[in-house]
Structure 1
Amino acid sequence: MIEFWLAVGLLLLVGTAFLLIPLLRGRRAQAEEDRTALNVALYQERLAELTAQRDAGTLTAAQFEAGQAEAARELLADTEGAGTGRGHRLGRALPLLIALAVPGLAFGLYWHWGASQELTALQEQPSMDQMTARLEQAVKDNPESAEAWYFLARLYMGEGRAAEAAKAYEQAVRVAGRQPELLGQWAQALYFVKGKQWDQELQALTDEALKLDAGEVTSLGLLGIAAFEDERFADAASYWQRLLEQMPADDPSRASIQVGIDKAREQLQASGQPAPEELVNKSMAVISVSVDLAPELKAKVQPGDAVFIFARAASGPPMPLAVKRLTVADLPAKVELSDKDAMMEQLKLSSFAEVQLVARISRSGVATQGEWVGRGQPIPSSTREPQQLLIDSPEQAQ
């Protein structure tokens, strides 16, 4: 038992030191700033992940809203009470008061809650309405908090309150300055306020955002939507192509963006307006592959045996993204695998950052079963360099 209390005392001492050291070094304000910035960054990353999963169809609307609410709760728990003006009243005395109170509070909580079922009450999370109310109070107490205005705007957008979100974004811009990501999200909120009708105000905001950051994703996506609605399909595809180039290779929403580009190109072709060549070259994946048979296998195969040459995602669904069928008699052969060879509209070469090339000999003619195979290393789906495949291994050995 003595060892237990010694350990508790040591932990309390360490915890108290963490409170006092920043005070003694005079860096309390900087530490709070860094913590807030980290919380903001983590929240934005989580929202981006949830949005990507929703766009990719892996999350339902209800699941997306639940995830968004949970991320906001975590942020609020981390930042609650920060930036409300109390720092000016308590100043440097606050860490000292906390340091003195920690030991007594810890022991008191231990005796009161240590073996009590009421501990679960501490785990209760505020509702969305409560979080909104708290952030509304926070901006009233400290109207110069850009973070509070920003997160209030995000909550309003999540609740479908675009007009209030637009006003909150405007205040965030007033406090934080005309940062490109804020301008893009402000324009997005105004777009819904205006009934999805494009006007000069929205154009000016997105133009300014892209002038400051040519890869600002919200502005690019919004401009693409507006262009598509206005039947300016070449512009829509161009904006979405630029957006696609900004997205991480493993972002699951890349497939959705590519579908939008393809639809814009289809509308161009349907109206007799071919897509600009530079857009076609960027958006369509085309991989040239030379396939041959290892000399030692030539006596073991039949001329009529099927040869399946395909590409599949290096990390993703196992089904082929593009397939060509030949026979052993056709080898050596050179083929092209492209988006035109896609087995499914949603699964194209260009939808994935990296792919693996495979050539399989199947005497039965079944693409998923064979006797001999050749596999390449993962390569970018955008590669233009000719690739080589040599069928040289027994299928069962892979």
Structure 2
Amino acid sequence: MIIFLALSGTLLLIALILILLPLLRSVSTRGLSGREVNLQLARHRLIELESDVASGRLDAADYPSARSELERSLLSDIGDDVVHGPPSRSALPTAVLIGLIFPFAAAGLYLMFGTPEVLMSAYTQAASPKTISQKKLPPVAVLIEQLEKKVAQNPDDVRGLLLLTNAYMSLRRYADAVPLFERWQALDENNADLLARYADALAMANNGDLTGKPTALLERALQINPNQIQALWLAAMAADEQHDLSTALVYLTHLQGLVVDNQEAHKEVTAMIASAQSRAATPGVTPSSTSSTDSALNPSAPPARLSILVELDPAVAQGVSTTDTVFVYARPIGGRKMPIAITRRRAVEFPLRVILDDSLAVMPSQKLSDVEQVEIVARISRTGNATPTPGDIIGVTRSVTVNTVDTVTVTLSDVIP
């Protein structure tokens, strides 16, 4: 509205200037221009008289009378011109009158023939954007109802299930979300993220209890993706609920390495580790001492431990950034290639030295000390994703005996196509 009024006022001012300027100029220019012309003509005529006297065409005795006649004619012309001047000054009151009437007339014509209600409506809408947005967006209940109808009509629509499930979880309608997770799992049974969220919904629908099916779902999720952060977090909580602090510390230690870039999460996990250590049955339990605790239960079993040196082939070093992530893990020979111990570092400098032991086990049910031979894998990930992707740089060792005293060297030299 302010812009409209400013533009209208500017255009009105320009129109007034175009109308009034000629009127104001006429007050001084109409009398002045005639006088100047008559004076110029008189001067020219006087020069001609003097030339005629000099050339003999006019007698010297007649010169005074001719000059007097010229002067009388000049006075008469100037007098007539000045007489016509004053009437032009009447333009000044006219200009004042137009300047006063013109703006009011323009405003009146706009009110009569224009659309001021549109202008006021636009101003009102601009002043209350919340009202507009509220009119455009339907209530949440209507959106939920539309999603429910869509899912009912298309039971296999994964996107519809996802949207409705997210809506239920956001509204804390966990009991309504559980059946959708069951249907969703049937469509995508190997989705670790889905399994972790399913376990969360089940627990929340049961007053936060993670025992039973939620724990089984979390274990399945970690078998698919050992680095699924939500699954690790919930699995640690589930173990803590069962007073299995050693298992909780295994999960938390692994989780701590995955959230190193998230200060808030890393701080919370560190606090959870400290709390678990302080409540452990054996005083002084630390994440790295979990394997020694297992060995204490069986004194004849040597501690499971592998010292690994990770080197980077200069041929592929140019594409590596210090922000890239390095995963180093051990996996059993033959069978499923699921890591049984894993650690995560930054590609800051090479060679990189790491230690793998039972404290870095992915699953409490399968640790490094439970197998005799493993292969060591090192991988540089630009995305930080635990799942190998094209462009990652990888290196794999031959079969390595667990508890070997020798340092195992892994060279990063191959690029995943």
Q: Which interval holds the TM-score relative to the shorter structure? A: 0.3 to 0.5
TM-score by length of 1: 0.38
Larger Rg over CA atoms: 2
